[in-house]
A and B are shown apart, each in its own frame.
Chain A
Amino acid sequence: EVQLVESGGGLVQPGGSLRLSCAASGFTFRSYWMTWVRQAPGKGLEWVANINQDGSEKYYEDSVKGRFTISRDNAKNSLYLQLNSLRAEDTAVYSCARDGYYCSDTSCYFDYWGQGTLVTVSS
């Protein structure tokens, strides 16, 4: 059974940092693109960043470029998101997701998601 379990969320002051983790199990983690998606309270889903199988390609949503860093450790079956220079508007539930199979040339849907971890940015 595919499982994705996020951790590392919490309350942080504006300008602060957090590192989110996503532990993957039930599939060959090193074979898949992985993605972080967030959902602010009362808002829709928003793609944040994604990473290819060996970590050599990374893409970011414009508002997080230069502040967030996605990475992975295939030996540990884990995905990470380093969040720096946090702003109030970064408050959201952050979920990791696995890219699906029938993708377009440039992008993909998600066939499995975790439950998410809440990040609250507030003084």
Chain B
Amino acid sequence: DIQMTQSPSTLSASVGDRVTITCRASQSISSWLAWYQQKPGKGPKLLIYKASGLESGVPSRFSGSGSGTEFTLTISSLQPDDFATYHCQQYKSYSRTFGQGTKLEIK
């Protein structure tokens, strides 16, 4: 299986900050990577597909980049609604795998 490693596990930031979350794959996955936002008690919400494609309806402050084995999710200016847990997921192999999640907390 392709292993996905996210960093950091927890991130403390303030409203207005620019934050970056990293996801590394154990082997090349080309651009087959998605990012999700999850809030307590809710299912994940798709933010980014194919590494940098912004899902319809997602604010433009969210952006994704990378290819091969290293990827980033950037939030350009944190808003109160953005404090949540973020997950990356590879879909290069049929056994799609996720990172362990990054919890974004209010500083």
The residues of A with any CB-CB pair to B shorter than 8 Å are 4, 43-47, 59, 61-62, 95, 97, 100, 102-104, 106-116
Known: A109-B34, A109-B49, A116-B43. A47 touches B96 (CB 8 A): yes
Q: Which residue of A lies closest to B43 (CB)?
A: A113
The answer to whether B43 touches A102 (Cβ under 8 A) is no
B interface residues, how many (CB within 8 angstroms): 27
- A-B contact number at CB 8 A: 69
The residues of B with any CB-CB pair to A shorter than 8 Å are 30, 32, 34, 36, 41-46, 49-50, 53, 55, 87, 89, 91-101
The answer to whether A104 touches B95 (Cβ under 8 A) is no
* The residue from A47, A110, A111 contacting B97, defined by CB atoms under 8 A apart: A47
Chain B contact residues, majority secondary structure: loop
Q: Which residue of B lies closest to A60 (CB)?
A: B95
Question: What chain B residues lie within 8 Å of A112 (beta carbons)?
Answer: 46
- Shortest Cβ distance from residue B35 to the other chain A in the assembled complex, whole angstroms: 9
Give Cα A100 to B36, complex, Å.
13
